[in-house]
Amino acid sequence: MTHPQDQHPPQDARTLPARDHDASEALLERVRQAAATGTALRLVGSGSKGFYGRPVAGETLSLAEHTGIVNYDPVELVVTVRAGTRLAELQAALAQEGQQLAFEPPHFGEDATVGGTVACGLSGPRRPWAGSVRDFVLGTRMITHDGKRLHFGGEVMKNVAGYDLSRLMVGAQGTLGIIDEVSFKVLPRPAASATLRLEMGLGDAMARLAEWGRKPMPITGAAHDGETLHLRLEGGASSVANTQAQLGGEPDDTAFWTQLRELELTFFSRRHDDRPLWRLSLPHRAPPLALDGDTLVDWAGAQRWLRSELPAATIRQHAAQAGGHATLVDRDRAHGVDTPFTPLSVVMDKYHRQLKAKLDPRGIFNPGRLYEGL
């Protein structure tokens, strides 16, 4: 079978020279040696998302030099990129063609890498309307526990061989294997955009969002900071203008969405508020939770940031009762919490351990990053 990257690219496609064979083999050999000796490897790109998850003890294996856009076809809306490539570099290349990663990934640092983006599986304010990281991953090339490269998925949507395993790498935080390359579906940038602010309470905002969600409005961002509903409209110029006139409100600074995505708003500053920061993922129509603390609502209600001193068990119980889960973002404020992520049920723990044993039988890839023993 011919691999898509072995075929001649279309005229509009862009490719890099072949990878550095010596450097590539050195990376594979490092993994083979680790597997042979049972040495744990701490996988690192730029370290921009090192705060997200449990600390890993092991020899550092950096992918920061494993960079480059392997293939970019603007016509087919597909790009394949190496894991160590800076996210900003990829986005700049897409922007030159009027395209984007529609899931709006957070950087958390100017050197954030593509591999770290996929491994952590985090998406920005546009996620409820455009989709998540997982929805845009067409395929991956990964390095296995025995130092081999395997390709899953492809560079087109119709190529579904191994598709689910590619998506499984999203959010696994490097615990199942090393992400070597990723193929993304990309989308055109919107022709027009507008950001509005409407002064209203959270209850009114949630009711309005539920109402607007039943209408064909070009909303791609909706957040409430406790006093104000912030909205972003994107799409055709006439659609954005008509919706803006219909909703009213005041023009707002578009930088709000970048600051929200990068957790740079005052709400997220530990100088402003030193209480632990929690990320609650909930059904978007879930009512406000009866939890002591301050809340910032994103994703039209589906993602809620909470500053609270309440015990982890209390916060997680309320989130679960609402149909969601809670993640402790401030790892260094864990206060005895075993994992920042919601503890697994007995059944889910079994499945996770079986998957880990299958893909990483020696337990060398980021052991304990998500949960103890995984």
> What gap in Å lies between CA 314 and CA 39, rounded to an integer?
38
Is the separation of the CB atoms in 303 and 260 below 8 Å?
no
pLDDT for the residue 163: 52
CA atoms within 13 A on the CB side of 109: 14
pLDDT for the residue 73: 97
> What gap in Å lies between CA 147 and CA 78, rounded to an integer?
27
Reported pTM? 0.90
What SS3 state is found at 355?
helix
Residue 141: which H helix or E strand, with range? strand 137-143
List, in sequence order, every residue forming a beta bridge with 297; answer none if it has no partner. 224, 304
Question: How many helices, marked H, and strands, marked E, lie in the chain?
Answer: 11, 18
Name residues whose C-beta falls within 8 Å of residue 11's C-beta, 6 or more positions apart in sequence: none
Tell me how many degrees the CA angle 268-374-151 measures, rounded to the nearest 5.
95
Task: Give me the residue label for tokens 């294996």.
Answer: 61
Task: Give me the residue label for tokens 């897409």.
Answer: 94
> What gap in Å lies between CA 31 and CA 178, rounded to an integer?
9
Rg (CA), the chain: 21
CB atoms within 10 A of CB 324: 19
pLDDT for the residue 334: 53
Is the separation of the CB atoms in 146 and 29 below 8 Å?
no
pLDDT for the residue 10: 39
**237-266 burial by CB neighbour count: b if 16+ within 10 A, else e?**
eebbeebbeebebeebeeebbbebbebebe
> What gap in Å lies between CA 330 and CA 277, rounded to an integer?
6
> What gap in Å lies between CA 162 and CA 157, rounded to an integer?
12
> What gap in Å lies between CA 289 and CA 91, rounded to an integer?
37
List, in sequence order, every residue forming a beta bridge with 152; answer none if it has no partner. 140
What SS3 state is found at 233?
strand
> What gap in Å lies between CA 282 and CA 240, rounded to an integer?
28
**Average pLDDT by stretches of 10, the chain with 374 residues:** 38 48 79 96 94 93 92 97 96 98 97 97 97 96 93 62 76 96 97 97 95 96 97 98 96 97 95 92 93 97 96 95 94 66 94 95 96 90
pLDDT for the residue 7: 38
Token pair in block for residue 81: 């990129």
